[in-house]
């Protein structure tokens, strides 16, 4: 799956195709291509075990985290 950003050009919105894809697919100007459009969510999901370990650490060492937040 290829992920690209939507850009505004004039009154339209465009999505570019990287050169590598154009070359590998032998695309030329005027060719028809199929696309699937859906918004992608880039928020990182923390592993539940890592989150639990962090929360335990935060409870055990709140002063240390406060200190790190100040610097």
pLDDT tens, residue order, the chain (71 aa): 888 999 999 999 999 999 999 999 999 999 999 999 999 887 888 899 999 999 999 999 999 999 998 86
Residue 1 resides in a domain: no
| Structural domains counted in the chain | 1
CA 19, 22, 23, 24: dihedral to nearest 10 degrees?
120
Residue 2 resides in a domain: no
Q: How many angstroms separate the CA atoms of 42 and 66, rounded?
A: 28
- pLDDT at residue 71 in the model: 67
- pLDDT at residue 61 in the model: 95
- pLDDT at residue 70 in the model: 85
Residue 65 resides in a domain: yes
- Start-to-end CA distance of the chain, whole Å, equals 40
Residue 27 resides in a domain: yes
Q: How many angstroms separate the CA atoms of 56 and 62, rounded?
A: 10
Domain limits at 36? 7-70
Residue 12 resides in a domain: yes
């Amino acid at each position: 799956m290829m992920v690209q950003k939507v850009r505004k050009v004039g009154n339209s919105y465009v999505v570019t195709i990287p050169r590598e894809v154009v070359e590998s697919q032998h695309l030329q100007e005027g060719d028809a291509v199929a696309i699937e459009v859906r918004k992608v969510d880039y928020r990182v999901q923390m592993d539940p075990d890592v989150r639990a370990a962090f929360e335990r650490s935060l409870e055990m060492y709140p002063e240390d985290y406060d200190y790190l937040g100040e610097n």
